[in-house]
Amino acid sequence: MRISRLPVSEAWERWLSEGNITLEKFIGQNDGVELIEKAFTGDGERCVWFAFGNEEWYQKGDPGELNRLLMGPMALGFLGENGYREVTSPQDYDIVVYPSRELQDMGYIDHYGVYIAGGVVSKLGRLHIVRHELEVIPCGFGDEVIFLRKP
């Protein structure tokens, strides 16, 4: 599914690249982003952990290796083997996949979230858990989104 960017994406991109604006300030300055939980966590607990942490295969695996696998070109194949199927109309608790703009042709993934109540709940790296509109993401994430559902 192709998504249209909102102007807030530029602000988010600036926040990510400069590293000198607090998430709270970013959230306070931009509609479409809401802080759900402050959560500075370990290296393994990123968007992949947030989206798939309850899966048995994730709990039995090495978080670092799973993070590399699920951000790389084998991600969608691996998820398909574990029961996820692409859908065109999202429902609550579907996985939202943001393919990499720069590496999309090779199948790389930039970000995962969970579709809830018309928005996306996700974890920003090792930072906080936020709810954001589907289009309110860094510009570098491209303009495509994939919805996955596990029956």
* Distance in angstroms (rounded) separating the CA atoms of residues 77 and 124: 24
Helix (H) or strand (E) holding 130: strand 129-132
* Distance in angstroms (rounded) separating the CA atoms of residues 128 and 130: 6
* pLDDT grade for 5, boundaries at 50, 70 and 90: very low
- Cα 122 from chain centre: 6
Average pLDDT over residues 21-50: 68
Q: Are strands 85-87 and 95-99 parallel, antiparallel or unpaired?
A: unpaired
How much is the pLDDT for 8? 44
Helix or strand or coil: residue 33?
A: strand
Q: Of 17-31, 56-70, 96-110, 127-141, which range is least confident? A: 17-31
How much is the pLDDT for 32? 72
Copy the structure tokens of residue 69.
């696998």
* pLDDT grade for 29, boundaries at 50, 70 and 90: low
Average pLDDT over residues 57-85: 93
Residue 124, Cβ density class (10 Å: 0-12 exposed, 13-18 middle, ≥19 buried):
buried
Statement: residue 4 has pLDDT above 50: no
* Distance in angstroms (rounded) separating the CA atoms of residues 47 and 49: 5
How much is the pLDDT for 6? 44
* pLDDT grade for 55, boundaries at 50, 70 and 90: very high
Statement: residue 121 has pLDDT above 80: yes
Statement: residue 28 has pLDDT above 70: no
* Distance in angstroms (rounded) separating the CA atoms of residues 102 and 61: 28
* pLDDT grade for 16, boundaries at 50, 70 and 90: low
CA dihedral 24, 25, 31, 35 (to 10 degrees): 0
The per-residue pLDDT of the chain, averaged, comes to: 78
